[in-house]
Structure 1
Amino acid sequence: MKILVLGVGNILFGDEGIGVHLSNFLKLNYRFSGENKVDFVDGGTLATMLIPLITSYDKVLILDCVSVNNAAIGEVYYFDFDNVPNVITWAGSAHEVEMLQTLRLTAISGDLPPVKIIGIIPE
């Protein structure tokens, strides 16, 4: 099974790039063995340009910042793309809106693999 760990964000905006930094940290500091092949990719703010990459994997884990009213800086949320909790929005920056649209577009085409998201509240 091919698993994609996709870090999303703009590292030029500090903690808004936390998904990319976390993906790179995991890639450099951990090794994954077994039957599954795990790839770590800096998706930056490429959004729709990532569709061919996303669809080439069996499962996807997206690391990104999210917005949640009254949440504390640094809080972490884990959820399925198919079941995003009502308290979570992806409206804090341009890339987040584009990534959400990218996932929805890919889902409409029927090519979206199972997607899990780890969302972190930025400062």
Structure 2
Amino acid sequence: MKTLVLGIGNTLLTDEGIGIHVLQALEPELANWSDVTLLDGGTLSFTLAGPIEEADALIVVDAANIKSKPGDWTLLEGEEMDAFLMSNRKASVHEVGLTDLRAIAILAGHWPEKRAMLAIQPQTIDWGEHPTPAVATAISPACTAIRDLIRTWHHVA
């Protein structure tokens, strides 16, 4: 099963770049996992439609307003992810783009059945190359949740 882990964000805007920071933390371990691709999606573009359509499973990591404390995170799977994207269009700078990419994949006939979004509550979105301390604490547990989800999907112990 081809799994795409897509980190979203702008690493020049503090907590906005958390998706990329999580991806970078995952890279040393997951880079060697067969059938797992880590992709820096930056601030999104329609060029990501192809990799999403080619994946059997998709995990998106992004800063999003989950109406919680900075650094809190949640893992939204399947239709729960879709509902979040469709009902919270303004919860993150990128979710309009994710909604568009979802629509493209559905029209092309391939929105991965196995899909999830790991959303992390930002504290600050302002100039800066590092996440705030509160949001940086989410990196390790987010990585663990992603590894566990991939293992579950791949039925690997």
In the alignment, is the contact (CA less than 8 A) between 2:31 and 2:37 conserved in 1?
no
Stretches of structure 2 that go unaligned for 5 or more consecutive residues are 124-157
In the alignment, is the contact (CA less than 8 A) between 2:63 and 2:92 conserved in 1?
no
Question: In the alignment, which residue of structure 2 is the partner of 1:102?
Answer: 101
In the alignment, is the contact (CA less than 8 A) between 2:65 and 2:92 conserved in 1?
no
Q: Give distance in 2, aligned partners of 1:107 and 1:2.
A: 18
What is the root-mean-square deviation in Å for CA atoms of aligned residues?
2.2
How far is the alpha carbon of 1:6 from its aligned partner?
0.6
Task: Read off the aligned partner of 1:121 and give its amino acid letter.
Answer: Q
Question: In the alignment, which residue of structure 2 is the partner of 1:83?
Answer: 80
How far is the alpha carbon of 1:46 from its aligned partner?
2.4
How far is the alpha carbon of 1:13 from its aligned partner?
1.1
Matches within 5 A, 1:18-29: 18-28=18-28
Question: In the alignment, which residue of structure 2 is the partner of 1:116?
Answer: 116
How far is the alpha carbon of 1:43 from its aligned partner?
0.5
Structure number with higher helix proportion: 2
**1:7-65 per-position Cα deviation (integer Å, ceiling 9, x unaligned):** 0111111111100110111002x24767x411111001123220001111111111111
**SS across alignment from 1:6:** strand
**SS across alignment from 1:46:** coil
Aligned pairs, number: 119
Give the structure-2-normalised TM-score. Answer: 0.66
1:45 to 1:122, Cα distance in 2 relative to 1, 3 A: same
How far is the alpha carbon of 1:95 from its aligned partner?
2.4
Mark the structure with the bigger radius of gyration: 2
Task: Read off the aligned partner of 2:73 and give its amino acid letter.
Answer: V
Question: In the alignment, which residue of structure 1 is the partner of 2:126?
Answer: none
**SS across alignment from 1:91:** coil
Structure number with higher strand proportion: 1
**1:50-87 per-position Cα deviation (integer Å, ceiling 9, x unaligned):** 00011111111111111123x1001111012422366x
